[in-house]
Amino acid sequence: MKSLTDEQRRTLGLSPDASIEVEGSHSPRDSGVALGFSSAGSEGASLADLRPLLASTTPIADFAVTARRVGESGASVQRSDLAPGVFVVSPGELSVDVAGEAIHDRDLWVIDTRKGDVLLRLAGPSGEAVLSFEGSMFTWGRVHPMVSEELQSLAAWSPPARPSLASPGAGALLGGLDAPTWITAQLDPSLRLDAYAVVAAVGTLGRLWSPRGTSTPIAAAMARVRASDDPLARAIRWARALSAETCVAVGELARLEVDALAEALETMGSQDEDRVAARDWLERRDDLASVFTLLNAAGQGGALRSWLEGLDQHARTHATTWGALSPVASPRLAAAAWQEPAAWWAAYSAAS
């Protein structure tokens, strides 16, 4: 992303001291087909002229992380598959400022860089982003505003402690059934985990317990299921008894975890020494699946569902990295792989 001129900053409503940290960039892969980048015939192109070029577009998946950051998960950017330099921005509820020529059509902005480079500033309830379209290259970044004296005075502020929640203990969920240590260890009440970790541990036991590898006969396990007295049913009853305030707090902590995992993806290596970090990442994604299972059962899973869809879409763009680091040795992920075939994060386990 090029440095912004003073005039561009004024047009976009940015302060002279605001800085922009690049968050991502995208350029189309060379398909081997010479689409060309001639500006001939593009001068004064109208939306009607561009509509044929928008018949086939591809979403830029990595932008989803920034969309969530600024507070509008529905915002998106798509590039035309038929002409380089033609993009469509759907800002959702974000406010938009433009430097350069862009066509505004109802709730969309159409960018044609064959007529010149274009900058967009998107502002939402939780942040701002600057989008730069230069030729076939799309770059976007986070806006860091000038820090006022008032904000500097808050430098010593620390966030409140994460809310706590008493663990029900593994015994209350198993009801006399046995289970491997990896599924019960985090339910030890002496650990004093925060509310998110407790809900994740309860949800994991509920989701992933099975008679496989235990002393429980399959017939006995099925009888418990029919009686709605299996570990999952007990975990759901426990979750539905949580207060609305607790569910909201856990949902907010889950949102922070989604953001943390999205950021961790950008530093994930593909060497042998990165395999432990990859296993931890995948198990943390499985924690989110457990939290979603219980929050959804309590009627509080809608927002988390959307955040997880964005995270998973972003994570799948790193398939080469996951493939290089697999198989990942994790009994938990192995259990998830055969019980929940749709759990893509478990597909890289050693036993999947």
> How many Cα atoms are found within 13 Å in the side-chain-facing hemisphere of 322?
18
| 33-48: burial string, b at 16+ Cβ within 10 Å, e else | eeeeeeeeebeebeee
pLDDT score of 28 = 78
> pTM of the predicted model, to two decimals?
0.57
CA dist 95 and 203 (Å) reads 38
Grouping H, G, I as helix, E, B as strand and the rest as coil, residue 324 is: helix
* pLDDT of the residue at 38: 41
Neighbour tally for 125: CB within 10 Å: 9
Please compute, for residue 136, the number of CA atoms within 13 A of its CA located in the half-sphere on the CB side: 14
Dump pLDDT digits (tens) for 273-293: 888 999 999 999 999 999 999
pLDDT at 150: 54
Q: In this predicted model, what pLDDT tens digit does every residue of 197-240 receive, in sequence order?
A: 999 999 999 999 999 989 999 999 999 999 999 999 999 999 99
pLDDT tens per residue across all 352 residues of the chain? 788 999 999 999 988 888 899 999 998 765 444 444 444 344 456 778 888 999 999 999 999 999 999 999 999 999 999 988 999 999 999 999 999 999 998 889 999 998 899 999 999 988 899 999 999 999 999 998 765 555 555 555 455 567 889 999 999 999 999 999 999 999 998 888 899 999 999 999 999 999 998 999 999 999 999 999 999 999 999 999 999 999 999 999 999 999 999 999 888 888 888 889 999 999 999 999 999 999 999 998 888 998 999 999 989 888 888 889 889 899 999 999 999 999 999 998 876 4
Find the helix or strand (DSSP H, E) in which 260 lies: helix 244-265
CA 112-7-24 angle, 5° bins: 50
What was the pLDDT predicted at 42?
44
